[in-house]
Structure 1
Amino acid sequence: MPPVPSTPPKKRKVGKWVTIIVSIVGVLLLGLVGLAFVGYMVGGAHNAEPGDCLHIEDFADRRERPTVLDCSDEKATLKVGVRLEDGGSCPDGDYDEIAYEEGARLCLMLNVKEGDCLANFYSPTKGYEKVACTDPKADISIMKIVEGTDDAEQACATVPGVLGGLRYPEPATVICASEPTTA
């Protein structure tokens, strides 16, 4: 009598599960990338308007990735003074600038108050950082802020030890600065 054929071993369905898991992970990753893009386009600095405050970690090689923050946040060292569309130029003043590919340009002014001190003020690449005025990293101390004018010479004339004034025509503001005290 011929031998009875044995039942073939059951095929494992591991390949099917791997395919399902990889598909789910892929869909989740695409969803996260989509949400990040939508967040950037809708709520990011890309759409910042005058009066919005920002933090920029690095100005080097067009890598600035501004973050919109509440103006009272210590990391919010910049404020949008002017937003231009279609490649316009910032008003003559001491603005930092960010230009986006589609033509929008943000003209940024310091978001500081009297008594603040900043590090990285003279750095061509690093973002500003609020620090204690006694910190060795402090570059400038904010002595006086005058709104309603952009005449830095007149606004800072009576401020003792002033190095000069940063002037912003829109909104008309002068920020008088000196070297920090290192006591």
Structure 2
Amino acid sequence: MSVPPPPSQPQAQPGPYGPPPGQPDGGFGAPPPPAPKKNKALGLLLKIGVPVLVVLVAGVIGILNFVDSPATSNVGDCLNVTQFNSTTEPTKADCASPEANLRIGAKLDGSSGACPAGGTYDEYTVSGRGSYKLCLVLNVKQGECVANFSAGETGYKRVPCTDPSAEVEFLKVAEGVVDEALCEGTEAEKVLTYPQPATTLCFRQVQA
């Protein structure tokens, strides 16, 4: 009499974020992390395994654009961030130019470190080989207005305070000090502070 085969073991099914730990995913690495958000993290996903010809061409372009890359930036440099997503890389910009919407307050080796405590930084993080993190401060002057302040992915943009897209007006910009009391006596409704470099920004919502 033949012996029936042992019952097959149920196979773990992959969830929405990839297979369970220890299970193969059918690819060459772990699934990418979710796209980071504004005021939380701005990520750059590095791709591998592209055809050789594309790699060579991309390498030439990369050499030409490297001087404008955030990787070559230092504390105090400014960036033009047009989109807060995983596919648009910021570029270096003159801090006096209208396009320079963020300034580097701190640069960390590695992607897992934390920005200075107590700061309301935006973050740009590069993971993998040569990983680093930039802690970013709003680059604004007193009296300026900004659009896209609450937009999830669109970068901050300086606009005239009479522009219908203006969302907030910065009533006071104090450099070299972190003190919310500096906003007292103004019409400021909220405060942003950064310990490095020490900065206090007092602002209000622009009335439609």
In structure 1, C-alpha distance between the alignment counterparts of 2:176 and 2:108, rounded to whole Å: 21
In structure 2, C-alpha distance between the alignment counterparts of 1:44 and 1:179, rounded to whole Å: 33
Of residues 114, 118, 124 in structure 1, which corresponds to 2:142?
114
Q: CA deviation at 1:40?
A: 4.1
Q: CA deviation at 1:176?
A: 0.7
Larger proportion of helix: 1
Hey, what does 1:71 align to over in structure 2? 95
The answer to which of 33-42 and 47-56 deviates more is 33-42
Letter of the 2:157 partner, please give it. E
Structure 2 residue 160 is the aligned partner of structure 1 residue 132: yes
In structure 1, C-alpha distance between the alignment counterparts of 2:98 and 2:67, rounded to whole Å: 24
TM, length-normalised to structure 2: 0.67
Of residues 95, 106, 113 in structure 2, which corresponds to 1:82?
106
What is the DSSP-based 3-state SS (H/G/I as helix, E as strand, rest coil) of the residue aligned with 1:46? Answer: helix
Q: CA deviation at 1:139?
A: 0.7
Report 1:7-86 matches (<5 A): 33-60=58-85, 62-86=86-110
Distance 1:45 1:39, change over 3 A: farther
Q: CA deviation at 1:32?
A: 5.2
Hey, what does 2:184 align to over in structure 1? 157
User: What are structure 2's unaligned runs of at least 5 residues?
Assistant: 1-53
Hey, what does 2:206 align to over in structure 1? 180
In structure 2, C-alpha distance between the alignment counterparts of 1:123 and 1:37, rounded to whole Å: 30
Distance 1:148 1:30, change over 3 A: closer
Question: Is the Cα–Cα contact under 8 Å of residues 49 and 83 in structure 1 kept in the other structure?
Answer: yes
Structure 2 residue 182 is the aligned partner of structure 1 residue 148: no
What is the DSSP-based 3-state SS (H/G/I as helix, E as strand, rest coil) of the residue aligned with 1:37? Answer: helix
User: What are structure 1's unaligned runs of at least 5 residues?
Assistant: 1-28
Corresponding residue pairs, total: 152
Letter of the 1:139 partner, please give it. E
- Identical-residue share of aligned pairs (%): 36
Off by >4 Å, runs of 4+ in structure 1: 29-32
Q: Quick check: which has more Rg, 1 or 2?
A: 1
Structure 2 residue 197 is the aligned partner of structure 1 residue 171: yes
In structure 1, C-alpha distance between the alignment counterparts of 2:77 and 2:170, rounded to whole Å: 20
TM, length-normalised to structure 1: 0.76
What is the DSSP-based 3-state SS (H/G/I as helix, E as strand, rest coil) of the residue aligned with 2:63? Answer: helix
